[in-house]
């Protein structure tokens, strides 16, 4: 069966520090991968999605970047965090062809102080 791992679960970082959140998927190949951000009590904002290694689409201009160095690995990064980067970050994957829904990781609660 397929599983998705996202870490860390919680993170407190000072303003100006770098960020690296990692997400990996097991049990499938060539998945579509997604990073979403959820502000408190709000909906999910799509940040990045990827349909293959090195292929990243950015949805919103921001202080963040994403990379996909391996087929089932998706990394969210920042060189210098801002207070406004605080939020709940969710990684998700979906099958390229056989299915249409997305499956989500447990999320990372990021607090920038």
Partner 1 sequence: AQTVTQSQPEMSVQEAETVTLSCTYDTSESDYYLFWYKQPPSRQMILVIRQEAYKQQNATENRFSVNFQKAAKSFSLKISDSQLGDAAMYFCAYRSGIQGAQKLVFGQGTRLTINP
Residue written as token pair 């087929």: 71
Q: Which residues pair with 45 in a beta bridge?
A: 37
Instruction: Among 41, 54, 61, 69, indicate the residue that binds partner 1 (CB under 8 A).
Output: 41
CA distance 46 to 51: 14
104 binding partner 1? (CB under 8 A): yes
Binders of partner 1 in range 69-98 (CB under 8 A) = 88, 90, 92, 94, 96
- Which is nearest to 44 in space by CA: 91, 111, 112, 95? 91
**Is the CA virtual torsion 99, 2, 31, 39 positive or negative?**
positive
Site string for partner 1, 7-36 (x = CB under 8 A): -------------------------x-x-x
Instruction: Give the interface with partner 1 as residue ranges (CB under 8 A).
Output: 32, 34, 36, 38, 41-44, 46, 49, 51, 59, 88, 90, 92, 94, 96, 100-104, 106-107
């Amino acid at each position: 069966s397929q599983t998705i791992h996202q870490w860390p679960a919680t993170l407190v970082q000072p303003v100006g520090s770098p960020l690296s959140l990692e997400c990996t998927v097991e049990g499938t190949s060539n998945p579509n991968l997604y990073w979403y951000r959820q502000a408190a009590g709000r909906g999910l904002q799509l940040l990045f999605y990827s349909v293959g290694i090195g292929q990243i689409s950015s949805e919103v201009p921001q202080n963040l970047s994403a990379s996909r160095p391996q087929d089932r690995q998706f990394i969210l990064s920042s060189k210098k965090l801002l207070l406004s980067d605080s939020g709940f970050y969710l990684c998700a994957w979906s099958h390229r062809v056989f299915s249409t829904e997305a499956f989500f990781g447990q999320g990372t609660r990021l607090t920038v102080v």
